[in-house]
Chain A
Amino acid sequence: MSLRLSGAGLQHGNGVHALRGVDLHIAAGERVAIIGPSGAGKSSLLGIMASALRPTSGDLQLLEEDPWRLSSRARQRLRSRIGLIHQAPPLPPRQRVVTAVLAGRLGQWGLGRSMVNLLHPLDIPGARAVLAQLDLADRLFAQCQQLSGGQLQRVGIARALYQDPSLLLADEPVSAMDPVLADHTLRVLCRHAESRGVTLVASLHAVELALAHFPRIIGVRAGQIAFDRPAGEVDPELLDALYANEQLVSPPLPTASMELQIPRC
């Protein structure tokens, strides 16, 4: 078992319930996509799975441990086995790509090795190899501020791949990429997960990408799990119900009247 949430809820400081009574069980080596409308709680759910957010209610088991019952040192050790890919990877603008990628293993390296690596990258071939999978090997020594949004996302993915975690989480990992690149990147992630027996959980905006790459789909709506079934059993009605939005009314298109379009020549 890789991950279990029972009755997990998350209430923000301002009283808003981001998640309510989530029961979820993901086995080791599974690949799961989380879909749902904006603000449904996908990122909060991933944050809890990454032990980046502490659930305000319910139980959480990550890789056989409850992160919030551990000492902070043991929690940091557990966290080094969990990788979270951010939608907009928070990277210092002046940091070089090679350093940003190698920073993935800071949790596994001691302080001495981390400091030396800051002055001179210790595993340039390793960083180049992960970047090459994502077609970014030529930007190894560029600064992060020189990259586009899609390239930055791939640097964030490369860092998580280099971290080599047992549980790989991804929050909208391909939102800034074109369709072809998004498809390729998801395939890289899935191949990495499959070949190493890594559990992969990704939230995605694009439903067709989720259905194409992930065997199990979880729909989240208003902080609760709307459905949880194999990709083959997800039908259009289910998706319509998931994304239905009563408050969003598109403004009526102005009807062009024929009288106004008399040519004047």
Chain B
Amino acid sequence: MLTRDSRDPAALPRLLLTAVALALLWPGIQLAELDLGVLLAADSQSEMGRFVAAFWPPAHAPDFLRLLLDATLQTLAIATAGMALALVVAIPTGLLASRALSLSAASRGGRPGVLGQALRWPVRALLIFLRSVPEIVWALLFVRAVGLGPTAGVLAIAITYAGMLGKVYAEIFESVDRRPMHALLQAGAGRLSAFCYGILPNAAAELTSYTVYRWECAIRASVVMGFVGAGGLGQQIDLSLRMFAGDEVASMLLTFLLLVLLADGLSRVLRGRLA
């Protein structure tokens, strides 16, 4: 049994953490009023059944396909433009917020100086603010400000995703081995060049895969924002849903699947190149 020789000092904390996680999960389910029984109730089943039955065959009339193509391109454009704007904000703020770029940490065994830490906080707070408001809320705001259309979607994605990307970039920079960068700083290199030579090679694959994944999320988000009038596939799905045109919804969901597959393949190819 557990003799003194084979005792692991980490065993008890791990056990306690597991117990706490389980104890927190149950009230969480209660509070969310999760009731899977509803799915099995007879009337909701027949309602859903009727709607889903209309999915087949997916709509494929030439007019509709042209409309679908336009909407898809618009969705892609919204997501890509939003991501591009988000990157413009996220890269500098990620660099500013990350402790990895600390010059003082190089000569203090990895602990950054107090002043640098204090300056990092406002940037972190900005990133928290940017991402704490959901993109759908930003979209509603911008639809009021700039009117219906893709511009609102682009701006909403840019703001929320700048917050998310900046935070995660800062953490990725901190998670890779910092010794190469410290060695370069100790040989007189500037911070930015030491970062590009010491951290970027290690972080590139993860940065790429996270960025492509976020682009994929941006495509989904732009669809959701379409429901509030920000253009793209979402607006079309909203219209088709209101008209109970299940076949059109099916075609659009299939397009969706294709887009996500595309993003996944792109991510794989890029990661393969960088690995």
**Cα(A96)–Cα(B60), bound, Å:** 51
What's the tally of chain B residues with a CB closer than 8 Å to chain A? 30
Interface residues of B in 168-207 (CB under 8 A from A): 177, 179-180, 182-190, 192-194, 196-199, 201-202, 204
Residue B18 interfacial (CB < 8 Å)? no
Count how many pairs of residues, one from A and one from B, have CB atoms less than 8 Å apart in the complex: 94
Is B184 a contact of A94 with CB atoms below 8 Å?
no
Q: How extensive is the interface on chain A, given as a class?
A: 35 or more
A84 and B179 contacting across the interface, CB-CB below 8 Å: no
Q: Closest A residue to B111 by CB, please name it.
A: A13
The reply to whether A94 and B194 form a contact with Cβ atoms under 8 Å apart is no
Q: Is the CB–CB distance between A79 and B193 below 8 Å?
A: no
Q: Indicate if the CB atoms of B197 and A107 lie closer than 8 Å.
A: no
Q: Which residue in chain A gives the minimum CB-CB distance to B180?
A: A90
- Please state if A92 and B201 are interface contacts (CB–CB under 8 Å): yes
What are the residues of chain B within 8 A of A92 when measuring CB–CB? 177, 180, 197-199, 201-202
User: Which listed residue (A12, A76, A91, A115) contacts B196, Cβ 8 A?
Assistant: A115
Minimum C-beta distance from A28 to chain B (A): 19
Give the complex CA separation of A109 and B202 in angstroms: 22
Which A89-121 residues have a C-beta within 8 angstroms of B?
Answer: 89-95, 99, 103-104, 106-109, 111, 114-115, 118
B177 near A78 with CB under 8 A, answer no
| A50: chain B residues within 8 A (beta carbon) | 186
Neighbouring B residues of A94 by C-beta, 8 Å: 201-202, 204, 274-275
Q: A52-B107, A111-B192 are contacts. A93–B187 as well, Cβ < 8 Å?
A: no
Q: Is the CB of B106 within 8 A of A111?
A: no
Given A52-B107, A90-B182, A92-B202, A79 contacting B177 (CB threshold 8 A): no
B186 adjacent to A91 (CB under 8 Å): no
Residue in B177, B180, B193 with the greatest tally of chain A CB atoms within 10 Å: B193
Closest to A115 in B: B196
A90/B177 in contact, CB under 8 A: yes
**A80 CB–B CB distance under 8 Å:** yes
Residues in A whose Cβ lies below 8 Å from that of B109: 12-13
Measured between beta carbons, the chain B residues less than 8 angstroms from A90 are 177, 179-180, 182-183, 198
A118 touches B107 (CB 8 A): no
A89 CA to B180 CA in the complex, in Å? 8
Known: A54-B107, A118-B196, A118-B197. A91 touches B188 (CB 8 A): no
Q: Once the chains are docked, how many angstroms separate the CA of A254 from the CA of B183?
A: 47
Decide: B201 and A107 in contact? CB cutoff 8 A. Answer: no
Asked if B97 lies at the interface with its beta carbon under 8 angstroms from chain A, I say no
In the bound complex, do residue A108 and residue B188 qualify as a contact, i.e. CB atoms below 8 Å apart? yes
A89 to B177, CA, bound (A): 12
Interface residues of A in 176-219 (CB under 8 A from B): none
Interface presence of B103 (CB below 8 A): yes
- Docked complex: B82-110 residues within 8 A CB-CB of A: 103-104, 106-109
Contact of A53 among B107, B189, B275 (CB under 8 A): B107
| Shortest distance between the CB of A216 and any CB in chain B (Å) | 25
**Contact: A106 with B186, CB < 8 Å?**
no
Residues of B near any A CB (own CB < 8 A): 103-104, 106-109, 177, 179-180, 182-190, 192-194, 196-199, 201-202, 204, 274-275
15 further A-B contacts with Cβ under 8 Å, apart from A79-B185, A80-B188, A111-B192, are A52-B106, A79-B187, A84-B183, A90-B198, A92-B199, A92-B201, A93-B201, A94-B202, A94-B274, A95-B180, A103-B197, A109-B193, A111-B190, A114-B196, A163-B187
In the complex, the 6 A-B pairs of residues with the closest C-beta atoms, listed nearest first: A107-B188, A80-B188, A106-B189, A90-B179, A92-B201, A114-B193
